[in-house]
Homo-oligomer: A and B are copies of this chain.
Amino acid sequence: MDTSSLDTPVPIVDWAVMKANIERLQGLCDKAGISNRPHIKTHKSVEIAKMQLAAGADGITCQTIGEAEVMADAGIKDILISYNILGARKSERLAALAQRTNLTVSADNRQVIETIGDAMETANSSLGVLIECETGNKRCGVGSSDDAVELAKHVDAKQNLEFRGLLIYPPRGDVEPTKQFLADAKTKFGKVGLECRVVSTGGTPNLPFIGQCGETEYRSGTSVYNDRMMIGFNVATPEDCALHVYSTVVSRPAPDRLILDAGSKALTSDLGGFETFGVLPDYPEARIVKLYEEHGIVDVSYCEKVPEIGEVVRVLPNHVCPVSNLFDEILCLEENGKLRPLRIDARGKTA
């Protein structure tokens, strides 16, 4: 690839690597005998979502109504929004969306169920609901299976809502507590005559444990591209990383310091548990120690070789998902070696 004519900083996706990542996720789900419902928050692209469906996914996951609207506009028919939807305008949007897709949302409290239930009734729409349960990650979710049953009954009592099952987002490797939570819940739901047809779990870091908690479907986002965090979690190798931010060395103000044109508006400030803001795979001893908005400050003290001013280098982001959300368009490096622009359709659809 000729990098001299790039307008850096720019994310470039190696299409062959990404395709292999899509196949690998599908293979893992197939082997575990569960549904694949990839999370599109990582790529936010209609084209890539359709590739995931073509590879065998049964539907997609979105995190916001805005993302789901973009995907529904493109004809995608089975969407899970794994989020508590609240607010008057959002409920209206949800009801409109439910009229043109097989839509499911998650909920972990009565206010959400009341609001969406009422909105669906007003709009004469129907909506599937998963009760979100918390099994150790301390994000959203009810903390006991009793509370899950109570909320599920509440869903079941609403005319236009259909209780479909449970949604979890367990901490990495938390197999036994999650398995016990789900087994316990299954017994309790059986007693009240409610069936959990869907048990949806997710998280790329948990892929090594796929199928071990009794789930029926898997939501993985990051695996489509992978990143430094996924290498750290031992679920990807550097060769599995499909997206790099290409950046130009614009200055070498001191022997130990060079400056990249990729700063926090290209790489984000997401440390992801690391001390530096991404890595340079071709100069692994170079350390991105500080970011300004358009400057990446790189400590090259320990580098055997140092890139020259004007050189275009690859940066592997710590966390790839918020990076693709910064760019209206990225470039695909296709198998013929050509670069093709790809619009990030749902970029910025945060609401």
Interface residues of A, Cβ cutoff 8 Å to B: 4-10, 41, 63-64, 83-84, 86-90, 93, 108-109, 111-112, 115, 134, 138-143, 248, 250-254, 257, 259, 261, 264-266, 268-271, 292-295, 297, 309-310, 312, 321-322, 325-328, 347-348, 350-351
**Would A86 and B309 count as touching, CB distance under 8 A?**
yes
B41, B254, B293: which contacts A143 (Cβ < 8 A)? B254
What B residues does A8 contact at CB under 8 A?
87, 351
Given contacts A8-B87, A138-B254, A293-B321, 10 further A-B contacts (CB under 8 A): A5-B88, A86-B310, A108-B253, A115-B310, A138-B253, A139-B253, A264-B268, A264-B322, A269-B270, A347-B348
| B253→A294 contact, CB < 8 A | no
Minimum C-beta distance from A315 to chain B (A): 13
Q: How far does the alpha carbon of A292 sit from the alpha carbon of B84 in the complex, in Å?
A: 14
Min Cβ gap A258→B in Å is 10
CB-CB under 8 A from A347, the residues of chain B are 348
Question: With A87-B6, A88-B5, A322-B265 as given contacts, are A294 and B250 in contact (CB-CB < 8 Å)?
Answer: no
Contacts of A63 in B (CB 8 A): 293-294
B90, B251, B271: the one contacting A108 at CB < 8 Å is B251
Please indicate which of the listed interface residues A138, A268, A328, A348 has the most CB atoms of chain B within 10 Å of its own CB: A348
Asked if B327 contacts A297 (CB within 8 A), the reply is: no
Nearest to A115 among chain B residues (CB) is B310
Closest to A85 in B: B250
Shortest CB distance A284–B (Å):
23
A250, B261: Cα distance in complex, Å: 37
Closest to A249 in B: B86
Residue among B90, B138, B326 making CB contact with A350, cutoff 8 Å: B326
- Complex contact B350–A295 (CB within 8 A): no
| Interchain CA distance A254-B63 in the complex, whole Å | 22
